[in-house]
Structure 1
């Protein structure tokens, strides 16, 4: 005799719903199974977690777990690289919905053969992403049938930003938000970055008034930081041990005004291309660091 399935199938749930209506039971008495969601894009994966939904599969899962501000359910499937996910693994995960973004548009013809694709362009050069993330939160909640959850999550996020802003003193130094690439190069986050949006919510000023450069390399020479003598350096990346040693021995780094004045804050690794949970995590950690400075 074959074993009974441990979870009801969609067909079984539909049959139960039909029987319940026929028997005169309320339709709400039989809950539909949750949608199976797979995420290629990390910002959309965070958005799903913020809605209280657990993706069944996420691309680059190990790295995502390391940087994600919200816990990922045990048993989540790793889809491989975001830019080249395993389509076979994705199909075996049997998703109802695949979360993507414009970065992976070249995959969309293949993805749509597996399931419906939900894609939103969040990180666009020259455009602030935070409003787009709030909109994506509402849109995704509508897609999966939980709009009220999005309303509550958005209200909590805005309230937390406001509460954190009240903890900060007026007149704080402007911030340069950066990732360390190597001992001579950094990535700076401008007005079209997630971190800029969080700074604005906190009432802080971003000293870097240029756009971010959305590239894999850190494109800004270290000496550029000397052009902002009053700024606080806020580092949002992990620094490999060898690079940390190189920086410690760097005369250029030691000569930077912010370094000489002790205005350097290391926040640890925070995903600058994440969702609202990453923006909130950045705001929390930065607020605590500035209070302790």
Structure 2
């Protein structure tokens, strides 16, 4: 039994048809006959989720940037780069013969073109003004249902929760200081993450207080001048890579930067690259990296440079 394009197009009006087709195709006549749907993911949150469900996408956008920003889960060999997020290469996508295309809401403007290639669904995590993590969990389940991996989705969510709990165990001796979590943008501005960010859930589960209590926008972050980090002078500063080239070096020469209490007192830690606008896998990676940094010596400062946003 095969997944035909005709069958999938017939299911456009009711995409709940897809998991039944997938389940039937997996049953087959035997192990050798089982197939999995071919999915192109035009946003990294769905790409990383599919990998963790054991169904890596056949194509994603901007592979070099995925490797620089998302890092984990690593892309399996053979995943094809289909171009830019807002301008995917339709010819390459057609050659991949996907059974399903997954997009974020920002791609609705090109949805009609994508539908000419394969049935297209949009997963929504950001833009609601609510905390992102519950939406990420809901969309993990929804994506699992669409591709016939509901059991795998539940298993993964349970593993993710256990991994965050293990990360919390590393912080039993933490001194209780709140944290400002930022991306460096230039030598005068940072992107600071607030209560609607994906990482807010990780902070709460780790027993940490977010020092940023201001607005955090529909994507969970706002751009502010570095002087705004004075809002809580007792906070520890956590900067997450990557940063635009040369920013860290320029910050070291900034009088304002050097006089921030967190810098003057050696209360800054640096994390490796973690994508702030992803899904559950990025939350787990953030919790792991943060607990290792704070649990392994919270007052040691580090700097990490990388690609800019």
Same fold at TM > 0.5? yes
Match of 1:62 among 32, 45, 64: 64
Shift of 1:10: 5.8
Which range moved further: 159-168 or 128-137? Answer: 159-168
SS in 1 for 2:143: helix
Deviations 1:135-165 (A, max 9, x none): 1111111111121111110111111112221
1:51 to 37, 50, 53: 53
1:273 has 2:256 as partner: no
Moved over 3 A (4+): 8-11, 25-31
Instruction: Give the corresponding residue for 2:292.
Output: 288
Which of these residues, 110, 114, 124, is aligned with residue 113 of structure 2? Answer: 110
Paired residue for 1:184, among 185, 188, 199?
188
Contact 1:194 1:279 in 2 (8 A): yes
Matched residue, 2:24: none
SS at structure 2 position matched to 1:176: strand
Residue segments in structure 1 that go unaligned for 5+ positions in a row: 1-7, 12-24
Match of 1:255 in 2: 259
User: Alpha-carbon deviations, 1:18-76, whole Å to 9, x = none?
Assistant: xxxxxxx9845554311111010111111111101111100111111233311212121
Q: Give distance in 2, aligned partners of 1:193 and 1:89.
A: 34
Q: Which SS does the other structure have where 1:219 is aligned?
A: strand
Matches within 5 A, 1:1-293: 27-28=29-30, 31-66=33-68, 67-169=70-172, 171-213=175-217, 219-293=223-297
- Aligned CA RMSD, in angstroms, stands at 2.2
Q: From the CA coordinates, give the structure whose radius of gyration is larger.
A: 1
Measured in 1, the distance between the counterparts of 2:128 and 2:144 equals 26
Q: Is the 8 A contact 2:41 2:47 kept in 1?
A: yes
Structure 1: distance between partners of 2:28 and 2:198: 45
Partners of 1:87 and 1:56 in 2: how far apart? 14
Q: Is the 8 A contact 1:39 1:59 kept in 2?
A: yes
TM-score (norm 2): 0.82
Residue 118 (structure 1) shift: 2.4
Unaligned regions of 5+ residues in structure 2, if any?
5-26, 298-309
Shift of 1:211: 3.2
Using the size of structure 1 for normalisation, the TM-score is 0.86
- Distance in 2 between residues matched to 1:26 and 1:267, nearest whole Å: 46
Q: 2:30, 2:151 → 1: CA distance?
A: 17
- Inter-partner Cα distance in structure 1 for 2:196 and 2:278: 13
CA distance in 2, matches of 1:109, 1:219: 33
Distance 1:241 1:99 in 2: 32
Q: Aligned partners of 2:28 and 2:179: how far apart in 1? A: 56
Alignment CA distance shift 1:254-1:214 (3 Å): farther
C-alpha offsets along residues 179-201 of structure 1, whole Å, 9 cap, x if unaligned? 10100001111111111121112
1:9, distance to aligned residue in structure 2 (A)? 7.5
2-structure distance, mates of 1:221, 1:128 = 24
Corresponding residue for residue 3 of structure 1 = none
